[in-house]
Amino acid sequence: MPTTDTQMTMDEEPTKEERLQSVDKAFEGNLEPSIYQNFHDHRIYDKGRDSLLDREEKTSWYRDKKRDASDNEKRAAEIVRIIREDERDNHFGNRASEAIPGPETLDMGGQFLTNRERIEGSEVFWISKHMPKGAHLHLHFNAELQPEILLREARKVPNMYIRSTQPLLTEADLAETEMVFNVIPDDTKSSNVFLPTYNPEWKAPGSQPWMRWSDFREKFYSRFRHLTEKETAKQKTTVQPNSVQKNGTNEIDTDEDPHIELESAEVWLKQKMVLSENEAYGISQTVNG
C-alpha cells in the first residue's frame, strides 16, 4: 500500500535545528522567572560592569596622572598598547588555542627564563629601557649587580672567606653543595674544603669551616679546572669590541654590561649563583628546591 505524505512526516527523524530548539525550550522551561529574566537581560551585566570599571578608575593610583596627561602622552600610551598587543600575537605567539602548552611554548605571561631571549628582543622591552625611571620599591642586594662584578669585588677583599655544606671531593659534591661567602677577621685559620676530613659545622663553638677565598680558588683550579675549561675559554673568546685592557684581562669598565674574565672557581660559583632554565622549571624541581 502506498505511503502517504502524512505518514512520511511522522516517521522522519527531527532535524538538528529542531533538536536544539527542543533542548532550549526544556532548559528555559526549568528556569525560575526571575533567573530567566536576568539570564537574558544583558543590561544588568553591562550596568554592573560599567559600575565596577568606574570604581576602579576612581581609586586607581595613576588616576591623576592619566587625567592630567597631555595629548602626546596619551598618544604614546596608545602606541605602546598597540605594539604590545601586536607582540602578544606575532612576537610571543600567544594565540588562543585548546592545546595544552608544552615546555617550549613562548607566551607573554610565560616562564621568564624560557621567554628571556624573546623578552629582550621585544619592542616594548626596548621602549621601557629608554623611558625615565621611577622608584624601584623592592630590590634584593644580590640582584643589584651582575655576578661577574660581585666575584671580581670578592677578589679584592683579603679576608673574604667561603664555606661549604659538605666536603668537595667529587663532581657530585659540586652539584649538591651550598656555598656561603663571609668577610671575617684576617687571622681566621683557613680550612681545606677539599679534604675528606673537612667539617662543615659552623654553629658549634670552636668550629672552623671557613676557607680563605684566595686559597679556595687555587685549590679548585688544581682539582676541578677541567670541569670549567670550556666555559672559561668561551668567555675569553667573547671579549666585547669596546673592552679595555686592565691588569692583563679584558674588561669593560661599566657596571651595565661588563666583560670580566673569571677563574675556574668563579665560573663554577657563578653557575651556582644563577638559576638555569632547567633548575627553575625542570621535573625534578620541588617547592623545597
Same domain? For 274 and 252 the reply is yes
In a domain, 166, yes or no: yes
Same domain? For 76 and 168 the reply is no
Residue-level pLDDT at 268: 94
In a domain, 288, yes or no: no
Distances (CA, A) of 241 to 149, 244, 250, 258: 19, 9, 10, 12
Same domain? For 115 and 223 the reply is no
Same domain? For 21 and 95 the reply is no
In a domain, 62, yes or no: no
User: Contact, 181 vs 213, CB < 8 A?
Assistant: yes
Domain encompassing residue 162: 141-281
What's the pLDDT tens digit per position in 37-79?
A: 555 566 788 888 889 988 988 888 888 888 899 999 999 999 9
The last residue of a domain, from among 29, 56, 83: 56
Residue-level pLDDT at 263: 92
What's the pLDDT tens digit per position in 197-237?
A: 999 998 888 899 999 999 999 999 999 988 887 666 666 54
Same domain? For 77 and 174 the reply is no
The last residue of a domain, from among 56, 86, 106: 56
Q: Alpha helices, DSSP H only, in 195-273?
A: 213-224, 229-236, 264-273
pLDDT for 33 beyond 70:
no
Residue-level pLDDT at 80: 94
Same domain? For 242 and 160 the reply is yes
Mean pLDDT value across residues 142-164:
89
Mean pLDDT of the chain: 78
β-pairing, 160-164 vs 244-246, is: unpaired
Same domain? For 156 and 271 the reply is yes
Q: What are phi and psi of 162, to 5 degrees?
A: -140, 145
* pLDDT: which is higher, 99 or 44: 44
Residue-level pLDDT at 145: 79
Same domain? For 161 and 222 the reply is yes
- Report the candidate in 211, 121, 232 with the shortest Cα–Cα distance to residue 167: 211
* pLDDT: which is higher, 137 or 154: 154
In a domain, 5, yes or no: no
pLDDT for 247 beyond 50:
no
Phi-psi region of 68 (alpha: psi -120 to 50; beta: other; left: phi over 0): alpha
Cell 656555598 identifies what position?
Answer: 179
What's the pLDDT tens digit per position in 174-186?
A: 999 999 999 999 9
In a domain, 12, yes or no: no
Tally of domains in the chain: 3
Same domain? For 185 and 244 the reply is yes
Residue-level pLDDT at 141: 67
In a domain, 270, yes or no: yes
State whether the Cα torsion 51-57-60-64 is positive or negative.
negative
Instruction: Give ∠ CA 123-126-130 in degrees, rounded to 5.
Output: 140
- Beta carbons within 10 angstroms of residue 99's beta carbon: 6
Same domain? For 175 and 100 the reply is no
The last residue of a domain, from among 83, 107, 130: 130
Helix (H, G, I), strand (E, B) or coil at 156: coil
In a domain, 9, yes or no: no
CA dihedral 33, 39, 42, 43 (to 10 degrees): 40
Same domain? For 146 and 266 the reply is yes
In a domain, 213, yes or no: yes
Same domain? For 247 and 214 the reply is yes
β-pairing, 160-164 vs 249-251, is: unpaired
Residue-level pLDDT at 215: 97
